[in-house]
Amino acid sequence: MGAQKPSPAEIESVICSLTSVHSARVVADKGNEIQEIHVLTDASRSPKQLVRDVESALQAQFGLELDHKKVSIAQTQNGKSTEKSKSTDSARLKLSDVFIALNGSQAEALVRLRMNGSSFEGQATGHSSSHSQFRLIASATLKAIEGKAGEEVALVLEDLNAAVNLSGHTVVVVFVNMIGPKGEEQLTGSAIVKQDIWKAVVNATLDAVNRRLGMICEQ
């Protein structure tokens, strides 16, 4: 028996985490076999590059071999979409600081986030291996987010890959389980590693959660 295919919602979540993408809609049959993928993006990147990113992201996250002919790209000019992004920017948690303290085989991650002048802190402890440190940073980020969201949600890090290669760039991808008033929801997020991989891990975690917590985190 083959591995279970991802649902359209899971695929849409991964695509929406890509740079320049505003929204995505996946058309699938009853067996979750992809028939069409429609992606709305801004005009900052070429459609051909965006299709390659979609193919690479689905291959990295789910092992899916996608026929590029099933992907259609619609692009918007800078305008209403940009204005909307600016209006919601202040309602999103952002990275303030990230630290790792090592003590032999143990490590402690500390992450501070900020929003509208307020600061939220999360901590996580565990083994000091490189991969474990990345997971600790992501878990500490989720703890900080929970500090803002209060008892409305619980956030659990399910998986993390800090070495996804897309178009020559190293990308961090995280998979988060959010338990809230409406039940469980699986979220994914990503961030390109520019100079500091720790910051990329925090930003990928925020990318997964921020969109769903916009209303909860609003002050």
Task: Write the pLDDT tens digit of every residue in 41-57.
Answer: 887 778 888 888 899 89
Residue 39 pLDDT: 87
> Closest Cα partner for 178 from 133, 132, 145, 136?
145
Is 40 in contact with 214 (CB distance < 8 Å)? no
Give the start-to-end residue ranges of the domains of the chain: 8-85, 90-217
What's the pLDDT tens digit per position in 80-96?
443 344 434 445 788 99
Q: Per-residue confidence at 4, pLDDT binned at 50, 70, 90?
A: confident
Residue 198: pLDDT band by 50, 70, 90 thresholds? very high
Class of domain 8-85: alpha beta
pLDDT digits 0-9 by tens, 140-176: 999 999 888 777 788 999 999 998 888 888 999 999 9
Q: 90-217: what CATH class?
A: alpha beta
Res 160: pLDDT:
94
- Fold match, 8-85 / 90-217: no
Q: What is the pTM of this model?
A: 0.59
φ/ψ region of 32 (left if φ > 0, alpha if ψ in -120 to 50, else beta) reads: left
> Percent of the chain having pLDDT more than 70?
89
Closest C-alpha among 193, 186, 156 to residue 171: 193
